[in-house]
Amino acid sequence: MITIEGLTKIYGDVTVLHGIHHHFEMGKVHGIIGANGAGKSTFFRCLTGLEKYSGQIKGLSGMHGAIGYLPTDPFVFKRITGREYLRFHCLARNIRDIDIDKHNAFDLPLDRYAAQYSTGMLKKLALTAVLLQRNEVFIFDEPFNGVDLESNMLITAIIRRLGEQKKTVFLASHIYATLSGSCDFIHRLAGGKFEQPVGTEDFHALGLQLENEMVSTKLDMLRFG
């Protein structure tokens, strides 16, 4: 169990995370939803230890060498090849016995410089690196942004496979169908805190609620012609 106690993150005079108390079951796929600026990326960076915060995150002690983090916009040095990037990430975890070409599921041009990669290709390269590291916890921040339809479907299948393998997955996406189709629980982040998690049996009702809140009420405010 990952237990969050009083997690607070402040940037200057803006409090992004407000004393969060929440629980996440290990070995499950957890969808994280929230409006832009709700604090999803900040929460993920706190989980990975990339951000300083007040409060406590329990359950990940000793696991930071087994956490794979895919940020929304992965940084890749432009003058290295895709193959060099993947080798670097494997060596960082002391993984040497791996056939990179065998695991190139996204058909990336691995001997081409990253400077020649599109945004979607960089996202797929970074995701491949995270998977090759044999992590136990995966944090995916908007993994579907910028990728084509085929890759979108493959990423969804990857997340499902990780769930079947009882890996712990955190997934943020603005596409509700990708969450409802692959997650065990959906957690809504609003006002700097998490609401009660929703299980698969209530995903449809949550989707209708979100549609009403985010679409129907807003649509009436617009003029068409």
Distance, CA of 120 to CA of 117 (rounded, Å): 8
pLDDT digits (tens, 9 = 90+) for 38-87: 999 999 999 999 999 999 999 987 777 799 999 999 999 999 999 999 99
**192 contacts 20 by C-beta, under 8 angstroms:** yes
Domains of the chain, residue spans: 2-219
- The pLDDT score that the predictor gives to residue 73 is 93
Whole-structure pTM value: 0.91
Q: Which CATH class for the 2-219 domain? A: alpha beta
> Which has the closest alpha carbon to 212: 220, 223, 203?
220
Q: Report the distance separating Cα 31 and Cα 138, nearest Å.
A: 12
Tell me the residue type at 121: M
Q: Could you tell me how far CA 84 lies from the centroid of its own chain?
A: 24
Which residues of the chain register pLDDT less than 70?
Answer: 225
